[in-house]
Structure 1
Amino acid sequence: MASAIIFSGQIPRQNFCFKAMAAATPAAMPFKLSSQFAHRNTKMGQQGICLRRQTLSKPFDNWRLNLIMPSAADSDDITFDQLSAALMIRNFYTCINEKRLKELDEYISDDCCFEDCSFVSPIQGKKEVMHFYQQLTTGMGHNVKFSIEHVCEDDNKFTAGVNWHMEWKRRQIPFTRGCSFYECSREGDRLVIKKARVVIESPIKPGGMVLTLLKNVTAIFDDFPKFAEWFLKSPHVIVRFLLKIYSRLLAPIVNPLLRGYVKIWGFVARLFVFALSILLHISKKYFG
């Protein structure tokens, strides 16, 4: 129950006291209390605050404040949850940036499910998830870091959402923006990640083609509802089927072309570096 502070009409010269009355009505409140305690259903008993003036040698120690109130730790009505999913996720990304894999392991639950939209199937289990993060931190090198933009958490559940991007020496890398959603669970006095879902920005920007594709797909679903129900129940089956078709029919043709394309670009890059080194050598010799 909110409390009102009632001051006496006269204040003595040397001593004055004021007490918080628990039975006062809300109409007698001279100001509004913080909504944070009202939200947590905090109930305060009778409290007293007493100020005594003392004669001291230092000019800034003329007043001493003595608080007389029940301890919050001894009251069953006041509960403060120290576990925060948002704070845990921030520490989690700090461990990734600093490559502290042993500490990172403590944030992953044994039955963790990691869903990355870049992969066909989710990663199951703590061992497989840690193997993924080990490869991730190795691929990041020494200069690539995650930069956290915003973190949001749910008050009722241990869930948190975060959007981020990657930087190289504090410069943003293109096409590395992403959003992650984490569901946590309590293990003793700490939180661990039970489920994670990651969506990463695609370098391909189809634009309005997505709306056209959506219109065509929904038209097919409406014309063939049984096929739509089967597809929505097992979409990975069709993906695996298309991959098999690609590996048997198109891979023998496409893969050599891709390898030749990569070799050509590698040769062009080496030729560019060679020409650049010659120009630098000439500039140093004649203009240095």
Structure 2
Amino acid sequence: MIHTFSISYFCPPHLPKTLSICLPTITVPSTDFLANNRTRKITSNQIKKWVLQSSDNPTATITSPPDDVATGMESASSVVRKFYQGINRRDLASVEPLIANNCVYEDLVFPRPFVGREAIIEFFKKFIDSISTDLQFAIDDISEEDTSAIGVTWHLEWNGKTFPFSKGCSFYRLEVINGQRQIVYGRDSVEPAIKPGETALVAIRGVAWLLQKFPNLADRL
């Protein structure tokens, strides 16, 4: 969110009251933006790019700075988008450099996470080999403002039509490794084909009751 403030001018008494003065405006980031970027280093080159002002244009604008303007490094959201695009093309060669060597990837359908780039690529190879090329990931929404943590909601489409029981949400954490942003952690949560509804709440209450009555059972979780 950004806030816009008008700048007031003092009008000397000897000037005609009908004198027309064009008031510029300055748009600055909201306090939320500033709070989220306290630790970010801002260079003079970045400021010059954010502030646009000339004699022909009396408006000065400061917008939320893009990620790594000075270094030209790819944004985290762009890396995640490329990840999905590579999967859709069945092009694992383009996906591989987006994943860190020690990445941990959790798909909550599976009992254990996949650890390491090789294991993750092998998992996606089995995934794309088991489905038709007509089935594609479609991103519904993706966070854009963080350089290290990205949230995505998505669904699968079959020839452009929404595939049943295919909605999901994912979280990715990225780090800069050798000058390139890579995914170091991922987690997928997929819509279940069988939806228990309120039965799930009953099950949760039952497990919570057991843990309260028999605290030692918590050691087996």
TM-score where L is the length of structure 2: 0.71
Contact 2:106 2:113 in 1 (8 A): yes
- Matched with 2:130 is 139
Q: Cα–Cα, structure 1 residues 211 and 194, in superposed 2: closer, same or farther, change >3 Å?
A: same
Aligned residue among 115, 118, 126 for 1:127: 118
Does the CA contact (< 8 Å) of 1:114 and 1:124 recur in 2?
yes
Question: Closer, same or farther in 2 for the Cα pair 1:50/1:219, shift >3 Å?
Answer: closer
Superposition deviation, residue 206 in structure 1: 1.0
Query: Aligned match of 1:195 in 153, 178, 185?
Result: 185
Once residues 134 and 175 of structure 2 are traced to their aligned partners in structure 1, the CA distance between those partners, rounded to angstroms, is 32
The CA deviation string for residues 223-255 of structure 1, in whole angstroms up to 9 with x for no partner, is 011222x023xxxxxxxxxxxxxxxxxxxxxxx
Q: 1:171 aligns to what? A: 161
SS in 2 for 1:206: coil
> CA offsets per residue over residues 175-227 of structure 1, 9 Å max, x none?
11111100111123321110001111111111111111111111101001122
Consecutive aligned runs of 4 or more in structure 1 exceeding 6 Å deviation: 40-45
> After the TM superposition, which residues 206-245 of structure 1 pair with which residues of structure 2 at under 5 Å, given as runs?
206-228=196-218, 230-232=219-221
CA distance in 2, matches of 1:30, 1:207: 58
Letter in 1 for 2:85: T
Distance 1:188 1:131 in 2: 24
Once the two structures are superposed, the pairs formed by residues 253-268 of structure 1 within 5 Å of their partners are none
Rate the CA distance shift 1:107–1:42 in 2: closer, same or farther, 3 A. Answer: closer
Is this contact kept in 1: 2:82–2:95, CA < 8 A? no
The letter of the residue matching 2:102 is D
* Residue of structure 2 equivalent to 1:113: 104
Unaligned runs of 5+ in 2: 10-21, 58-68
- Contact kept? 1:153, 1:159, Cα under 8 Å: no
Q: How many Å separate the matches in 1 of 2:209 and 2:126?
A: 42
How many Å separate the matches in 2 of 1:131 and 1:82?
Answer: 28
* CA apart distance, 1:145: 0.4
- Mapped pair 1:96 → 2:94: no
Structure number with greater CO (CA < 8 Å, separation at least 6) is 2
Counterpart of 1:182 in structure 2 is: 172
> Separation in 2 of the partners of 1:187 and 1:206?
42
* Superposition CA RMSD, Å: 3.4
Which amino acid counterpart does residue 188 of structure 2 have in structure 1? V
Shift of 1:42: 7.4
Whole-Å Cα distance in 1 between the matches of residues 169 and 144 of structure 2? 14
The structure in which a higher percent of residues are helix is: 1
Quote the Cα distance in structure 1 between the aligned partners of 2:162 and 2:140. Answer: 12
CA distance in 1, matches of 2:53, 2:195: 65
> What SS does structure 1 have at the residue aligned with 2:26?
coil
TM-score, normalised via structure 1 length: 0.55
Question: Is the Cα contact below 8 Å between 2:140 and 2:152 reproduced in 1?
Answer: yes
Give the length in aligned residue pairs: 183
The structure whose Rg is larger is 1
Tell me the percent identity.
26
Q: 1:31: Cα distance to partner?
A: 3.8
